[in-house]
Amino acid sequence: MTVFIGAIIVLAGVFGGYVLSHGHIAALWQPFELLIIGGAALGAFVISNPSHVAMATLKQLPSLLFQKKYTKSFYLELLSLFYQIFNIIRREGLITIESHVEQPEDSDLFSRFPLITKDQQALNFICDYLRLMVIGDMTSYELENLMDVELETHQMENLAPSHALGKVADALPGFGIVAAVLGIVITMQSLGGPPEVIGLHVAAALVGTFLGILLAYGFVAPISNALEHKAFDESKFYECMKTCILASVNGMPPQVAVEFGRKTLPSDIRPNFYELEECVKGIR
């Protein structure tokens, strides 16, 4: 929703100011300039990025239109799941969670937390490290190092679409100049014709520069930044899981282990101590 609101503000500010200055909107409609700029930008994007980054970018873009995934209720469910898991481990031993970890889709434990089980990557992360805990051959330091390596790779993959679009945003003003130069070439071909025809060609050339700059700084660069924020939100989610698991491995009681995870969360979505306690009581 914020993407739409921001786009409307950009368009209203730019074109509203232009119209109020007695400009004619029809003069800005130059579809061939858009074709030159958009085609060049798309081609450069395809050339500069491997196919999996291009596909990841296309997959991530629609997610900007939906509500934020990592909300307070999402984290309450995550921390409640960890509390339940750690409580079972504390009372009955690590071996009792093996059946839940091996078949999480059939587990009555995981089925109580639908927001988490719908996220297959998160579920795999949880089950993989619980499985390593069951094996019991790794120290907390070794487990932490392994997590850090995985999370670093995960973050790099998540940031790749943002960086790819950022490069396109940097190039768009240059493609606008390309469109403008081609427009000037056409104008030079029309020298000797009626002044109004030459004026139209010059205007079209200038619109090419305008569109390149507007698309770069009004749309593509902000979308790149939005994807970057989305990637950091997901990294924080994995950091929270990592902190909870390591706290449990280091012998912290279940309530304290999930409190460690709660403390890693940003203030705008972090549940307070009593909210988490009430949620855990409900699960209990």
pLDDT of residue 169: 96
Please report which confidence band the pLDDT of residue 86 belongs to, taking 50, 70 and 90 as the band edges.
very high
pLDDT band at 283 (very low <50, low <70, confident <90, very high): low
259-279, pLDDT tens digit by residue? 999 999 999 999 998 888 888
Q: What is the pLDDT of residues 121-154, one digit of tens each?
A: 999 999 999 988 888 777 888 899 999 999 999 9
**Given a cut of 70, is residue 284 above it in pLDDT?**
no
pLDDT per residue as tens digits for the range 208-228: 899 999 999 999 999 999 999
Residue 43 — pLDDT band, cuts 50, 70, 90? very high
Own/partner contacts of 179-186, CB < 8 Å, gap of 24 or more, are 179/33, 179/36, 179/37, 179/205, 179/208, 179/209, 179/211, 179/212, 180/205, 180/206, 180/208, 180/209, 181/205, 182/36, 182/208, 183/33, 183/207, 183/208
Residue 193 has a pLDDT of 73
Quick: pLDDT tens for 59-75. Answer: 998 888 888 889 999 99
pLDDT tens-place string over residues 181-195 = 988 888 888 777 787
